[in-house]
Amino acid sequence: MPVLDAAGRSSAITGAAHGIGAETARALARRGARLALIDRDRTALAQIAEELRAAGCDVTVHPVDLRDDDAVAACATEIETAHPALQSLITCAGSSMLGSLDQLTMEEMRWLMDVNLWGTVSITKALLPALRRSPAAHITHIASIYGIASPAGRIPYSMTKFAVRAFSEALLHELEGTTVTVGTVYPAGVRTGIILHGRYAASIDPGVAGRAAAAQAAMYHMEPADAAERIVRATLQRRPRTLIGGETRLVDALVRLAPVRYWGPMRRPLREAIDTTTPMSPR
């Protein structure tokens, strides 16, 4: 299976305006790639595009809400026109949600599934015909350590990431023998601010939610640029499965050893990050 060369070839990146997506765009730009940047944040998308163009990168921007299938289809048509040699798709777009099942509404959980799963499925389906026309192409879906093990207090987020994992693996099998390969990346905590700027159940006191989010964020050790470099390498090498971070490798081993009882060792380090019920102490 030939590896990919980014220079002069096009890559589409979702969630490209912030965090891992923006750093992935920078990492590919340094390798001479042409880029189709996708995000719903028009202002931030324009800023990263301006930065990359100033560095000599050929960039197109595609503001779109990935929950809108019609808009995604139109976006894919734009990308195919601007990038006839599309070689890779990297799906970094996503959000988070704090809260227990008792605290969350069905609407809140469906919203996250629409963003993290169905947005990933929609853009992948829309761009697959363009990727098939490439002599060699790769799709990289960003899952999570929580797509390997499911902690309490993260039901909707873990559901979406396990679903992305299932989608990726099934698509990998469907495309076996074609020019398109598929890989899933499982990062541990990356310092993107996703947990601090994500959503939480409306029934949770904002102070309590902020405390839990801060506790989770304190466990994130990897810089987005480091994660992006590993994502780009995995894409160009067309890896089917990539674990990023020592925590992910540890949890992966734990789940293999104790597929039913892995939560026992995980509970203690996560106790503050999953606590969305204890009232704030009075000052």
From 50-64, 183-197, 235-249, the region with the lowest mean pLDDT: 183-197
| Domain ranges, ordered by start, for the chain | 10-270
Alpha helices by DSSP H, listed for the chain, are: 19-30, 42-54, 69-82, 106-113, 119-132, 155-174, 194-197, 206-217, 224-236, 246-257, 263-270
Residue 244: name the closest of 140, 156, 157, 155 by CA: 140
Give mean pLDDT, residues 100-122: 97
Rounded percentage of the chain residues whose pLDDT exceeds 70: 99
> pLDDT at position 282, please?
67
| Cα 261 from Cα 274, distance rounded (Å) | 18
d(CA 216, CA 126): 34
CA distances to 16, 75, 134 from 63, rounded to whole Å, are 10, 8, 24
Range with the poorest average pLDDT among 138-142, 172-176, 276-280: 276-280
pLDDT of residue 283: 61
Residue pair 143/184 in contact (Cβ under 8 Å)? The answer is: yes
Tokens of 59: 């960039």
For residue 186, indicate whether it is catalytic.
Answer: no
Catalytic residue from among 157, 200, 220, 262: 157
Residue given tokens 């979702």 in the structure block: 14
| pLDDT the model gives residue 191 | 77
CATH 3.40.50.300 describes domain 10-270: no
